[in-house]
Chains A and B, each alone.
Chain A
Amino acid sequence: EPEVTQTPSHQVTQMGQEVILRCVPISNHLYFYWYRQILGQKVEFLVSFYNNEISEKSEIFDDQFSVERPDGSNFTLKIRSTKLEDSAMYFCASKIRQGRNEKLFFGSGTQLSVL
């Protein structure tokens, strides 16, 4: 089965630093997502992206976050000035078409630790 690839698998950073989390969605997919899971909490939606723009975002996705699809394959999440509470597992996901019946394909996640 095709896979969503995320790099790095672990990222450690100092508070206040910028981080970029990278994802390669499945090649023919058109809808891209970032989710995160703080330890012991629910997996939370951050943002969805289609046609080179954000289509939906949650309250969590404030001005310190941004997403980009810099080329035809990568999809990145940038956190401008990390805070301790940004420590979480970040999942990238993609799907081929819109609609609530369509399944999401998830990557294996990037564990971000902010010190």
Chain B
Amino acid sequence: AQSVTQLDSHVSVSEGTPVLLRCNYSSSYSPSLFWYVQHPNKGLQLLLKYTSAATLVKGINGFEAEFKKSETSFHLTKPSAHMSDAAEYFCVVSGGATGNQFYFGTGTSLTVIP
């Protein structure tokens, strides 16, 4: 079975400081992992994905995530937060019989303080 756990429901950072959003996964095989972001009144937008190529994955808007199999983690980071980064972030693992189901974490709400 596949699942993800997002360790923080809320994260608050000051503008210009680093961002760390934590995610741990559980998967019965080599997983495909995704980070999606949801801005208010917007759809879910893909930030980045890991699909067993490089363990350090770079995404849009300066975000990146590192896949660590030994820690079963896929934490999302950004060196310097911007006000526009304030949003809800979801860690997702794909699975199911055909690989077509996406399993979402509970989400982390990021607040950026000016």
Task: Find residues 57-114 in chain B having any chain A CB closer than 8 Å to their own CB.
Answer: 90, 94-107
Chain B contacts for A108, CB-based, 8 A: 41-43
B56 at the interface (CB under 8 A from A): no
Give the residues in chain A near B106, CB-CB below 8 Å.
41-42
> Measured between alpha carbons, how far is A101 from B44 in the docked complex, in Å?
17
Can you list 12 A-B contacts (CB < 8 A)? A35-B102, A42-B104, A42-B106, A45-B96, A45-B101, A55-B98, A56-B97, A91-B44, A100-B96, A103-B49, A106-B36, A106-B43
B contact residues, total (Cβ < 8 Å): 27
Cα(A11)–Cα(B3), bound, Å: 30
| Contacts known (A42-B106, A101-B51); A48 close to B42, Cβ less than 8 A | no
- Is A60's beta carbon under 8 Å from chain B? no
Tell me, in angstroms, the Cα distance from A102 to B94 when the chains sit together: 9
CB A24 to nearest CB in B, in angstroms, measures 13
- Chain A positions within 8 Å of B, measured between CB atoms, are 3-4, 6, 9, 31, 33, 35, 41-45, 48, 55-56, 91, 93, 98-101, 103-109
B34 close to chain A: CB less than 8 A: yes
Contacts between chains A and B (CB distance < 8 A), count: 70
User: In angstroms, how far is the closest chain A Cβ from the Cβ of B26?
Assistant: 14
Query: Contacts A43-B90, A101-B51, A103-B34: A55 and B44 contacting too (C-beta < 8 A)?
Result: no
Question: B25 to chain A: closest CB distance in Å?
Answer: 13
Residues of chain A within 8 A of B24, CB atoms compared: none
Contacting residue for B43 out of A31, A56, A109, CB 8 A: A109
Complex contacts, A99 vs chain B, CB 8 Å: 99-100
In the complex formed, the residue of A with least CB distance to B51 is A101
A108 CA / B88 CA spacing, docked (Å): 13
Closest to A91 in B: B44
